[in-house]
Structure 1
Amino acid sequence: MLIRTTSTQRTYRYVRLTILAATLLLAVAVAVEEITGGPLPSLSAAYYTPAGPMFVAGLCVVAAAFVALSGRSVEQGLLDVAAVLALVIAVVPTTVESPACGQSVRCVPPAVVPAVVNNGVAVASVVFVGVVAGLALSIVQRTISRGVVLTASAITLLAGGFVVWGSVSPTTFLPLAHNAAAVGFFLLIGAVAVIAAWRPQRAPRRFRPAYAAVAVGILIALAGLGATLVAAIAGVDVTRPVPWVFLGESLALVLFAVFWFLQTVELWNEPDPRLRT
């Protein structure tokens, strides 16, 4: 029996599958680097390896896909904000140990800073233009709402905050921005999973335990990463012999993939499978 689908339905299917594909792309690139280049101290450190282009590309694809999942729900607003954070994670790398760091043990190497500035300006420009274009379209199409305005305002404040931070205090921005964006990103994904699990009109009952497990797992992963950060500040090596940061980030990435797999399965046959309002 031929099951007919609408173009909208197929589009949303492909967007969610694209998120899964981008996650797989990043994971495979990092796995290959682990095998051929040796253990990485963290997942984010892949930026400095041959896996770097796939790391950046995967995050940019995820950000674009989040924006493509149009809708007016709370979840969609959270994902729009998460898209901005994904771009920050992509273009502002984590710190690494390098002789170029001078007195600091870890830093973003000076040779990388021009790329961070160039890419950061490009990303900020696209975000601000996107906010203006999105508001203009919502006005023309008469879909403007309080949620749209709140989301646009949040994105503008977030992007503007990163721009001001990087401009005023690059010495704190470069070592901290990546981690700040990563924590915010996974907290937002966890929040979306919580909404999917505990709002009775959202996910079918059989999906709720899985969404709840994803949310709890992300919180555990973030708590673990927070503990490693405190330990690192205290002078403990959290990358050897057990790469705790890498394991925590990998767990968060796996849970991210699980969440989007659940979303894809749950909404596969929805006639208009947007995140529900």
Structure 2
Amino acid sequence: MRLRSTSTQRTYRYVRLSLVGVIAFLAVSLTVEIVTGGPLASVSAAFYTPARDVLVGSLCAVALALLVLSGRSVEQMLLDVAALLAPVIAFVPTPVAPADIAAGCAGGSSCVPEQFLPGIANSLISLGIVAVVGIATVSIVALARGTFDRAMIVSVAAAGVVVAALGGWWMLSPSTFLLGAHNAAAVVFFTLIALVAALAAGQPAGSDSRRTRLRVAYGVIAAGIALALALVIGVVVAGAEPAVPLFFIGEAAALLLFAVFWVVQTIEFWNDVDPRARVAAEPSAA
């Protein structure tokens, strides 16, 4: 049983560290693109550059890692919902101004260029089908194991609402979906991460100085993500492109803090194993 616990422990460590590695991978790709192709108005704008493959792949990897870390706490439920939103951020690009795309946009307004629409449709249909099948599978397994408790119901319900809301929006108003889904999903995604960090910061530390330092770190991360989101939303509301790429700075800061959050999580839970494995080991040790 010790081997089982050790294996689980190492798996959780590597998954958390992989989230940091994925963000580092994306950061390198963005840096290469900026050096070779010029400044980016936003991280999301990398979709229209040679960095697109790394951007989309990285966000899909983030979604998978968050699902692997799935649990039954409030924090894990929030991360499950964030995992559903990450592929939407990847597959639905941010709209561009007509001047930014040679083909232009109908009516001279911002849009997602037509050449990308078939790929977006294919990706969203695939994501929707897999999400529905995944939610159903998780529910059936939980029912069979007798673990379909209130926490599981809330988690499954939250995932179902997100899938239904996004699917309904896309089917009922595809034009507004293409214009707003990327930014909406990104804002909600980072809001959820900030909430998870805030919840971690609010956990009692007692007289443990190490836990106190970790709680402070979580608080700084939550506040930092909130400020980054405020900056991004402010740029969008202002409707003007400042000389300084504030949108890019805000997105980059949020991504950096996302990576820092997982560094802190890795430090805090370095020696933790899956509680279910620990419980299963106890009878044998007795």
TM-score by length of structure 2 reads: 0.89
**Does residue 1:57 correspond to 2:61, yes or no?**
no
Q: Which residue of 1 aligns with 2:137?
A: 133
Contact 1:60–1:87 (CA under 8 A) maintained in structure 2: yes
Partner of 1:210: 217
Q: 1:273 to 1:15 in 2, by over 3 A?
A: farther
2:260 counterpart residue number: 258
The secondary structure found in structure 1 opposite 2:204 is coil
For the residues of structure 2 that align with 1:86 and 1:13, how far apart are their CA atoms? Answer: 21
Q: Distance in 2 between matches of 1:103 and 1:31?
A: 34
Higher-Rg structure is 2
Whether the aligned pair in 2 keeps the contact of 1:131 and 1:152 (CA below 8 Å) is yes
1:163-200 C-alpha deviation (Å, 9 max, x unpaired): 11111111100010000000000000000000100121
| Structure 2 CA distance for aligned equivalents of residues 154 and 271 of structure 1 | 26
Confirm or deny: 8 A CA contact 2:104 2:113 kept in the other structure: yes
- Are residues 72 and 271 of structure 1, via their aligned partners in 2, closer, same or farther at CA, if it must alter by over 3 Å? same
> 2:174 aligned with 1:170, yes or no?
yes
Q: 5+ unaligned residues in a row in structure 1: which ranges?
A: none
CA distance in 2, matches of 1:147, 1:114: 38
Separation in 1, partners of 2:194, 2:221: 7
Residues 65-116 of structure 1: CA deviation (Å, up to 9, x unaligned): 1110132111000000000111110111111123421323321111111111
Cα deviation, 1:199-231, whole Å, max 9, x if unaligned, reads 216992120111000000011011111110111
Asked if the contact 1:12–1:273 (Cα under 8 Å) also holds between the matched residues in 2, the reply is: no
Q: Which deviations, in whole Å up to 9, do the C-alpha atoms of 1:120-157 show, x marking residues without a partner?
A: 00111111111001111111122111111111111111
CA distance, structure 2, for counterparts of residue 179 and residue 273 of structure 1? 37
**Displacement, 1:261?**
0.6
Q: Is the 8 A contact 2:23 2:259 kept in 1?
A: yes
In structure 2, the residue matched to 1:247 is 249
Deviation of the 1:20 alpha carbon = 1.0
Distance 1:104 1:154, change over 3 A: farther
Query: 1:181 maps to which residue?
Result: 185
Residue 195 of structure 2 corresponds to which residue in structure 1? 191
The total of aligned residue pairs comes to: 266
Secondary structure class of the residue paired with 1:256? helix
Q: Is the 8 A contact 2:70 2:77 kept in 1?
A: no
Query: Contact 1:23–1:58 at 8 Å: present in 2 too?
Result: yes
| Cα distance, 1:5 vs structure 2 | 6.5
Q: Answer yes or no: is 1:107 the counterpart of 2:111.
A: yes
Over the aligned positions, Cα root-mean-square deviation in angstroms equals 1.7
SS in 1 for 2:107: coil
Q: For structure 2, list consecutive stretches of 5 or more residues without a partner in the other structure.
A: 277-286
Question: For 1:249 and 1:215, how far apart are their aligned partners in 2?
Answer: 15
* 127-136 vs 19-28, which moves further: 19-28
In 2, the alpha carbon distance for the partners of 1:248 and 1:96 equals 18
Letter in 2 for 1:73: S
More helix per residue: 2
Alignment equivalent of 1:145, drawn from 138, 146, 149? 149
1:226 aligned residue (224, 233, 245):
233
Match of 1:159 among 153, 163, 167: 163
Instruction: Give the letter for the 1:269 counterpart.
Output: N
Q: Does 2:76 align with 1:72?
A: no
Give the structure-1-normalised TM-score: 0.92
The alpha-carbon deviation at position 272 of structure 1 amounts to 3.0
Q: Is the contact made by 1:9 and 1:273 (CA closer than 8 Å) also made in structure 2?
A: no
Aligned-partner Cα distance in 1 for 2:17–2:5: 16
2-structure distance, mates of 1:197, 1:74? 14
